[in-house]
Structure 1
């Protein structure tokens, strides 16, 4: 569910939903360490997006361990804010959307199909990625805080098909009928990240996409340990036992980790409170053979 449900304390008396909503934004801003202006402008959107992806890592440990992923707003708040965990697109962009609404941005969710590392002739993939469209002074911008190690580090104009440089890769947003194709320039080659549908979906479509992503045996989150975090200086990506650091100046470092090193990287690089029950998944990841 993507709608706010009233919380209920132990004594059974419902909490004022308005008071809960008012408390959300300060907690979110503290979580991402943002202390700047709170006006619905492009500069503020860009600053919030950068702060979010640096503070809240991309991760799918709950899918990998079989714990399940709840995208109800109370569950997202408890996990990403209260327990200082990360999450994937449905959790991350739902959280970001609520923060933007709280500040006064005109924003809505969109859904699409991941095409990362696939050829143009590859079969269709599930509708399993959520992004945001934010309108500022009549102009539409794509904002995404939930696409792993290739997440756009700043808003992308949706009315400009030319390359858009960022502090990391350049991006391109191209309209194809009722869809938007988003690509990044990686190692001199344009690689499609995803294709997003133009019409905002009903909430049930996010529920179905989340169910597939977190439970279906074909979802790579069920089989691979994945974490990512992007700062102004570098992108950090962990795929099973391979840690990749891509510096903003173009330098790349790759290392293969032991189980203990994976656990330390989850804590120290990806800022996660490592849970004891993750250890079996970490040990399996340490023995993985990675292609590509």
Structure 2
């Protein structure tokens, strides 16, 4: 059982505990603002345990962040406890990939949630382009959120999620509408956490999205994308990265993190 009191305190929610669309929207906005996206344990060779007990201990009580399997599994349990109908899905990530890039495995967990008689795409675990509101599961409708406008384009077996940025419509991921079972996520999580070709094995990525701006750290480059105005990027030294991880992303920086922080500075220089 998920400790709803502890979860709501973690994200700063004190509203109704019902299965309304208003509640879903409120939780979807607050979750990525309070719990950052990060896969630091992969860089430390600690692995990622996606059991409910481990996820709650890390993201709620340990005040850490996580990646999609942690974020969206936690969110699914919270929504289910509130009475929503929740179904797990999987997607192939296409973010920042060229059009001719090899097809990737389905290693991104998302959710289909039914609220007030309509199906919604829910995803609180997609890094610097995370949704801040659920999207209606319909094709070709432009759907503005607090930070970006999205659309779902019909493809065989599902939808392609796209986000509108300065260069136009940018692909985020290809979503399959085939429901997943927990073992599907266990296999995908094992790949992303351990396989040598997984970018999480070599790339420091941390992100959080608050009402005023998106904050993203890639290696040692901090990008702030405000709701109004142009993105600003800053290169950080090791001390600056530790301050940013602690003060911007709210993470409890450990002495053991210094090694990958210094490698990130060297890689991003």
Aligned to 2:95: 116
Q: Name which of 211, 222, 242 aligns with 1:243.
A: 222
Q: Name which of 43, 50, 62 aligns with 2:22.
A: 43
Count of aligned pairs: 269
Aligned to 2:256: 277
Question: Structure 1 residues 117-126 or 149-158, which shifts more?
Answer: 117-126
Q: TM-score, normalised by structure 2?
A: 0.97
Following superposition, the deviation at residue 106 of structure 1 comes to 1.0
In structure 1, C-alpha distance between the alignment counterparts of 2:183 and 2:48, rounded to whole Å: 15
In structure 2, C-alpha distance between the alignment counterparts of 1:71 and 1:121, rounded to whole Å: 32
In structure 2, C-alpha distance between the alignment counterparts of 1:120 and 1:251, rounded to whole Å: 26
Aligned to 1:267: 246
Aligned to 1:145: 124
In structure 2, C-alpha distance between the alignment counterparts of 1:152 and 1:74, rounded to whole Å: 25
Unaligned runs of 5+ residues in structure 2 are none
In structure 1, C-alpha distance between the alignment counterparts of 2:131 and 2:30, rounded to whole Å: 13
- Give the secondary-structure state (helix, strand or coil) at the position aligned to 1:152: coil
- Give the secondary-structure state (helix, strand or coil) at the position aligned to 1:287: helix
Q: Name which of 197, 204, 213 aligns with 1:218.
A: 197
Following superposition, the deviation at residue 171 of structure 1 comes to 0.3
Cα RMSD for the two superposed structures: 1.2
Q: Name which of 158, 161, 173 aligns with 1:182.
A: 161
In structure 2, C-alpha distance between the alignment counterparts of 1:150 and 1:117, rounded to whole Å: 11
Question: Is contact 2:68-2:108 (8 Å) kept?
Answer: yes
In structure 2, C-alpha distance between the alignment counterparts of 1:94 and 1:225, rounded to whole Å: 22
1:47-126 equivalences under 5 Å are 47-126=26-105
In structure 1, C-alpha distance between the alignment counterparts of 2:32 and 2:211, rounded to whole Å: 10
Deviation by residue 1:187-207 (Cα, 9 ceiling, x = unmatched): 141111111110111211101
Larger Rg: 1
Question: Which of structure 1's runs of 4+ aligned residues deviate more than 3 A?
Answer: none
Q: TM-score, normalised by structure 1?
A: 0.90
- Give the secondary-structure state (helix, strand or coil) at the position aligned to 1:288: helix
Deviation by residue 1:86-123 (Cα, 9 ceiling, x = unmatched): 00000000000000011111111111110111233322
In structure 2, C-alpha distance between the alignment counterparts of 1:34 and 1:65, rounded to whole Å: 32
In structure 1, C-alpha distance between the alignment counterparts of 2:221 and 2:245, rounded to whole Å: 12
Following superposition, the deviation at residue 37 of structure 1 comes to 1.4
Question: Is contact 2:139-2:154 (8 Å) kept?
Answer: no
Aligned to 1:26: 5
Unaligned runs of 5+ residues in structure 1 are 1-20
Aligned to 2:177: 198
In structure 2, C-alpha distance between the alignment counterparts of 1:56 and 1:289, rounded to whole Å: 25
- Are 1:171 and 2:147 matched, yes or no? no
